[in-house]
Structure 1
Amino acid sequence: MTGAGPLVSIIVPVYDAGEHLEPCIRSILEQTHSALELILVDDGSTDGSGEVCDRLAAQDVRIRVIHQENGGIAVAQNAGLDAASGDLITFCDNDDLMAPRMLERLVELIESTGADMSCCRWKNVGASQGVAEMRKHADDPFGAYEVFDDPARAYQTVFSLAHRKLLRVELRYFSEANWGKMYRAHLFDGVRFPAGRYAQDVAVAMTLYERMSSVVSCEDALYYWLQRGDSVSHALRSAAYYSDIVHAHAQSFDVAIRLGVLPARAYTGMTALRFERRAAGTADELRRLEDDRRAVRTRVRQLSIWQRVICRALHLQRLLEIQVYNVTVHRRR
């Protein structure tokens, strides 16, 4: 284990994680980079997850537990950020796993290149196979990496699988999800996730990427994103949920336009308007839908015809890829 080196704060929002919580926590405690503080934010769990956090904290001084009333993932993440004392920060969902050398790899990359953020690839694995799959690949050698500047542009334009494979820019692809990434702590100075939002990560993504000079991305799949049928990602979505997606990507769109970046990902995100249209039923929901329509139209009109063509083409490619994803990954157990 590498106990030396910069302190890494790992923030894990915890809410009714059940049997998945302890494997998640143990995967973090078993990291080869042991200079870490694990901040578990129990967001009003009702299934005993808070007690699991306390029990494991009594066994390892690197664990800090925060208990709070349920406020949602953004409030929990913010509580973790407020408590973090590490030079570097990363996040983990309470039902996912981190490969034993994930921190080691991301720390080494960010320190050796001077980048503001390092990130790795991830694997979508059925929850029942996660630990076995992670152990099988624990000793895989590290692969290639790439350092690039202007991460805000990469985030907005490199997201379609076909596009990034064709142009060989796979390592420039990263999502707004906070897991699988390591941030320099100062990036969050004055930045917190908006409370009560479903798309809290999208809402701050461009703000963070605008602050970065460079990113280092490696091809190593070190984060295990476990799929299970009862997860939030599989839940029925409301009109309010889709409205929030539209609003978050509209914010992202505005930042991209200000930076002179083609807002292709934001364009695709705003097409969640079609799902909001299907879900809206009450008078309030229909009024909000009309407001969202106007907001989207106003933004799309800022694009040239050619920009609209590019955004539309990338959107259609991504739509096809999502359909394939939904009949493969989302069926895993």
Structure 2
Amino acid sequence: MKKKPLVSIIVPIFNVANYVYDCLASIRNQTFNDFEVVMIDDGSTDQSNLICEQFCQLDCRFILHTQKNAGLSVARNKGIQFSSGEFILFVDPDDMLNEKLLEKTTNLLIKYGTDIVSFGYLTLNNDKLLESSYSGPDLGKINSSIALESLFSGQFGNYVWKLLVKKSIYKKNRINFPQDRQFEDVATTYKILGYARTIYFTSDRLYIYRQRKNSITHMHSDKDLQDMLITFNEIDLFIDRNFSSLKSILLNYEFNMIFMLITRMGGWDTNILNVFRPLKRNQKRYIIDAKKTLKKIYRHKKNSKLNKKKQWIKFFLLNLKVFPICIAIKSSLKRG
């Protein structure tokens, strides 16, 4: 009987032939060897499937499953279903791993006996490695309440691929990625952290996140706000039932996430010239609806002193149309 690996690495794949070889090679080159790679090809029409098959021939730890195109969430959920490891790590197919990622994180799991290890990441932009805006807090071993407070206060990015997670957390708590919705990670990360007994946070930057203009993360639609509000309703229910003391900081988090959506829809974070271009009809409608949502959240927080002044300043600058210019300048400086 084949021995089950300690870690299952799940890689959802769709039309990433230009990047997936580097991704899979970085996994194969890990200094820690007790893992399997579950690749879910979500109906690719380029050479992605062929590249995956080549890795299967080279290394028996690589396993390929194919399906008709059904989206990222379905592919990830299938990966959980097909995995056999005790722990799960998600890797996006255009990203890469530091060769010591598994070695360092599994050592922390063994040393501290936690359910999850969270780590930092670097950003790859135009073949240039940059430190991410999220430093990756070096919190050590903490409980789920502190982890959620750190998430909602913006101390680390809301990405499932920066978490090495005990598989039983997904299975016992029936955690699935929502189908046909954007922001899959936002809809699941809080549950993963909330159901864990303890989490270890290291600031080591062990993941390489590639930024692409045509990736799912950078594609925006009118449906984004609707999807985010559905997710917020789910998070509100979960926090009310399990971590009610975090309600105030959660509202602040939701406020900031809506601001992020406005920034993306306006294109202010990618090109300063977008600030001076007239908004399209769908952009105007989207931003108007988002501002209404912000006002509701702000009114709901009137009894809370948490960042109330900061939110008022953001509102003021947004209404004066100064906020877009500030965002565009900040993004331009960050890109160098």
Tell me the TM-score range normalised by the shorter chain: 0.7 to 0.9
Residue 213, structure 1, aligned to residue 197, structure 2:
yes
Seen in structure 2, the aligned counterparts of structure 1 residues 128 and 116 have a Cα distance that, compared at 3 Å, is same
Distance between the aligned counterparts of 1:34 and 1:219, measured in 2? 23
1:83 positional shift: 0.7
Q: Deviations over 1:70-115 (max 9, x none)?
A: 1111111111011111111111111111000001111111221122
Q: 1:127 to 1:107 in 2, by over 3 A?
A: farther
Deviation per CA, 1:207-229, whole angstroms, max 9, x where unpaired? Answer: 22211222111121111112234
> Which residue does the alignment assign to 2:163?
181
The verdict on how the C-alpha distance between 1:299 and 1:126 changes in structure 2, with shifts beyond 3 A counting, is closer
Q: Distance in 1 between matches of 2:297 and 2:210?
A: 36
2:211 maps to 227
TM-score (norm 1): 0.77
Give yes or no for the alignment of 1:76 onto 2:75. yes
Partner residue of 2:152?
156
Q: Which has the higher contact order (CA 8 A, sep 6+)?
A: 1
Whether contact under 8 Å (1:10, 1:90) holds in the other structure is yes
Distance in 2 (alpha carbons) for counterparts of 1:63 and 1:79: 15
Determine the structure 2 residue equivalent to 1:125. Answer: 124
- Give the structure 2 partner of residue 146 of structure 1: 140
Q: Which amino acid aligns with 2:26?
A: S
Change (3 A) 1:6 1:18: closer
Query: Aligned with 1:265: secondary structure?
Result: helix
- With the length of structure 2 as denominator, give the TM-score of the two structures: 0.76
C-alpha contact 1:42 1:65 (8 A) present in aligned 2: yes
Partner residue, 2:32:
33
State which of 242, 250, 255 in structure 1 corresponds to 2:225: 242
Kindly report which structure 2 residues correspond to 1:1-333, keeping only aligned pairs within 5 A, or say none. 7-129=6-128, 146-149=140-143, 150=145, 151-157=147-153, 159=154, 173-189=155-171, 190-235=174-219, 237-258=220-241, 259=243, 260-261=245-246, 262-263=249-250, 264-271=252-259, 274=262, 281=282, 300-303=298-301, 304-307=303-306, 309=308, 312=311, 323=328, 326-327=331-332
Query: Residue 297 and residue 88 in structure 1: after superposition, are their counterparts in 2 closer, same or farther (change >3 A)?
Result: same
Decide whether the 8 Å contact of 2:5 with 2:36 is kept in 1: no
**Closer, same or farther: CA 71–125 of 1 in aligned 2, 3 Å:** same
Task: Report the secondary structure of 1:90's partner residue.
Answer: strand
What RMSD, in angstroms, separates the aligned Cα atoms of the two structures? 3.5
Q: Contact (CA 8 Å) 1:247, 1:270: kept in 2 or not?
A: no
Greater Cα shift, 193-202 or 147-156: 147-156
Shift of 1:18: 2.0
Distance 1:208 1:315 in 2: 31
Structure 1: which amino acid aligns with 2:187?
A
Dislocated runs of 4+, deviation >6 Å: 275-280, 292-296, 313-316, 319-322
Alpha carbons of structure 1 residues 61 and 232: separation in structure 2 relative to 1, 3 Å: same
Structure 1 stretch displaced more, 44-53 or 298-307: 298-307
Question: CA distance change for structure 1 residues 273 and 257 in 2, over 3 Å: closer, same or farther?
Answer: farther
Determine the C-alpha separation between the residues in 1 that align with 2:56 and 2:46: 18
Figure out how many residues of one structure are paired with residues of the other and give that number. 297
Which has the higher mean CA deviation after the structures are superposed, 300-309 or 55-64? 300-309
CA contact (8 A) 1:249 1:269 kept: no
| 1:314–1:115 CA distance, 2 compared to 1 (3 A) | farther
How many angstroms apart in 1 are the aligned matches of 2:39 and 2:280? 35
SS at match of 2:38: strand
Evaluate the alpha carbon distance shift between residue 314 and residue 144 of structure 1 in structure 2; reply closer, same or farther with a 3 A threshold. Answer: farther
User: Which segments of 5 or more consecutive residues in structure 1 lack a partner in the other structure?
Assistant: 134-142, 160-172
Deviation per CA, 1:4-34: give whole Å up to 9, x if none: 9961011111111122110100100111111
With over 3 angstroms needed to count, the CA separation of the structure-2 counterparts of 1:102 and 1:238, relative to structure 1, is same
Say which SS state the counterpart of residue 119 (structure 1) adopts. strand
The letter for the 2-side match of 1:265 is: Y
